[in-house]
Structure 1
């Protein structure tokens, strides 16, 4: 049994708790981890344009909801105040199981209220101005792993828009709490990206609906920009290994770095190109006025065929 499971093994089945709640959650005794139980996916989470597969935008918004709910229950709520401080994402990595590429599996095990999904969330690294957390996604019925989401967040001053020292009461139990962080998972800064001259460029103007409570582009909107641009490049014949809707391919992982803010009305260029000597790997960079503010690397499962419905 894993360390995370140990923290909840003495508790009743989470599906029996909080009977009045559609979304169930609980925090471990040491305040180090949380469990969240969500109902299965709905009809709108699947996209017929990609063979009835699960939409990545839906996955991104789901992971965002887990992150917000778990952090608010784990961490002092003052960290999320709308005063002079807030949280920005610095890095994130989404890893997806091959099981999620099977529409048959998803319909049988992840669709409707009767097919809940379990998420285990825990803090894995603490710094002076940042912290990293991991969300492990499991099929509640079969106990099979479906994915993992790692996020590095930075504590920011809303006045200067620069990192600031985390408050002393940020971690329950202080130094003792830090000692219980057994997983040292962290996301380091990626190497600088240089956009090649032959990169496909797709211009987009930021809408109000693309932004979040911090008044800049939401993490799921960035992903949407890249997916739309990647599909545009593929169907126009600008890519060698991708010819159709990008989400139709069996996506293995998405590695993201946030380097700056993008605001409402900004005109951005989504640039993308295929990694040299790495078939099935796409590179993305978003720039504003020639400054790169976002990068993403998307990798594909090499041993899985595309849906025959595409």
Structure 2
């Protein structure tokens, strides 16, 4: 995912949105021939960062932790996107506060301009010594001064536990060394993978009313993630899951009694409804 040598970046007329070409690789696909939702989220978030770094290389030296991310996928994504399919990614800064920033972007089909993936990422500038938020350097405030007074865009909100916890499906995982990133904590995409694996096991066991069968053969329509606390190598995590509404699962990842991450996944259910067939 490093910038390819010779990559061409183009700017919008207001010079605030950067666009560039991208394509997925054969190794991005799972055994069902689909790109897993944690890979999609990871690539999409990195593409937003890549675009902003193309505009301002100093971002490469800014330490950021992700607070939340949300991605919505068109039904066409799973049928159109193959290894090497020509895509275009775009990235735009939406908001800059004292310690956090929010970027938005899209991945579109280069041949039709259909939006296949769209979403947002909110990152927090942190001190690696204290692991706490700290103010951005002055150059960021100056570069994005036009956004400082703008209203904060809607991001992922915290949800409450279900009233009936007896209907939860529980899944446990121990964080392996390979899931730790250069921030010395569990990488953000791994939580999405843990939750999907929880759902895949639960769906096969009939734990959810409408989300059933082999989830590796079903597409995820939308994923929302709120990161609450960190986990480290060797931590034993509990993933609590339940069906919030038809086709929608919620997950609370805990370490003991501590809440670490909340995830919501909406699946493309085989209902034939117009909602499931709609474009982004």
TM-score (structure 2 length as normaliser): 0.85
Quote how far apart the aligned CAs of 1:290 are: 1.3
Gap runs ≥5 in structure 1:
1-17
1:34 has 2:18 as partner: yes
State which drifts further: 286-295 or 67-76.
67-76
1:283 has 2:250 as partner: yes
How far apart in 2 are the matches of 1:163 and 1:34? 27
Which residue is 2:93 aligned to? 123
Quote how far apart the aligned CAs of 1:72 are: 2.2
- Relative to structure 1, the CA distance from residue 144 to residue 204 in structure 2 (aligned partners, 3 Å threshold; closer, same or farther) is same
Which residue is 2:206 aligned to? 237
Which residue is 1:156 aligned to? 126
Per-residue Cα deviation, 1:3-45 (whole angstroms, up to 9, x for no partner): xxxxxxxxxxxxxxx9963x44345576522112113x33323
Which residue is 2:194 aligned to? 225
- Relative to structure 1, the CA distance from residue 36 to residue 172 in structure 2 (aligned partners, 3 Å threshold; closer, same or farther) is farther
Per-residue Cα deviation, 1:51-71 (whole angstroms, up to 9, x for no partner): x33322331232133133223
Residue 99 of structure 2 contacts residue 136 of structure 2 at CA under 8 Å; is this kept in 1? yes
How far apart in 2 are the matches of 1:126 and 1:19? 28
Once the two structures are superposed, the pairs formed by residues 176-195 of structure 1 within 5 Å of their partners are: 176=146, 185-187=153-155, 189-193=157-161
Greater C-alpha radius of gyration: 1
Residue 54 of structure 1 contacts residue 100 of structure 1 at CA under 8 Å; is this kept in 2? no
- Relative to structure 1, the CA distance from residue 88 to residue 99 in structure 2 (aligned partners, 3 Å threshold; closer, same or farther) is same
How far apart in 1 are the matches of 2:232 and 2:15? 35
Secondary structure, counterpart of 2:139 in structure 1: coil
Per-residue Cα deviation, 1:193-240 (whole angstroms, up to 9, x for no partner): 458233111111111211211011112111111111111111122222
1:74 has 2:55 as partner: yes
Secondary structure, counterpart of 1:265 in structure 2: coil
Residues matched between the structures, number: 270
Once the two structures are superposed, the pairs formed by residues 55-66 of structure 1 within 5 Å of their partners are: 55-66=36-47
- Relative to structure 1, the CA distance from residue 240 to residue 189 in structure 2 (aligned partners, 3 Å threshold; closer, same or farther) is closer
Which residue is 1:8 aligned to? none
Residue 94 of structure 2 contacts residue 147 of structure 2 at CA under 8 Å; is this kept in 1? no
Secondary structure, counterpart of 1:47 in structure 2: coil
Residue 139 of structure 1 contacts residue 145 of structure 1 at CA under 8 Å; is this kept in 2? yes
Once the two structures are superposed, the pairs formed by residues 286-301 of structure 1 within 5 Å of their partners are: 286-301=253-268
How far apart in 1 are the matches of 2:30 and 2:146? 46
Q: 2:72 aligns with which of 71, 85, 95?
A: 95
Per-residue Cα deviation, 1:107-129 (whole angstroms, up to 9, x for no partner): xxx432xx321011001112111
How far apart in 2 are the matches of 1:138 and 1:184? 25
Gap runs ≥5 in structure 2:
none
Which residue is 2:175 aligned to? 206
Quote how far apart the aligned CAs of 1:171 are: 4.4
RMSD: 2.8
How far apart in 2 are the matches of 1:161 and 1:223? 22
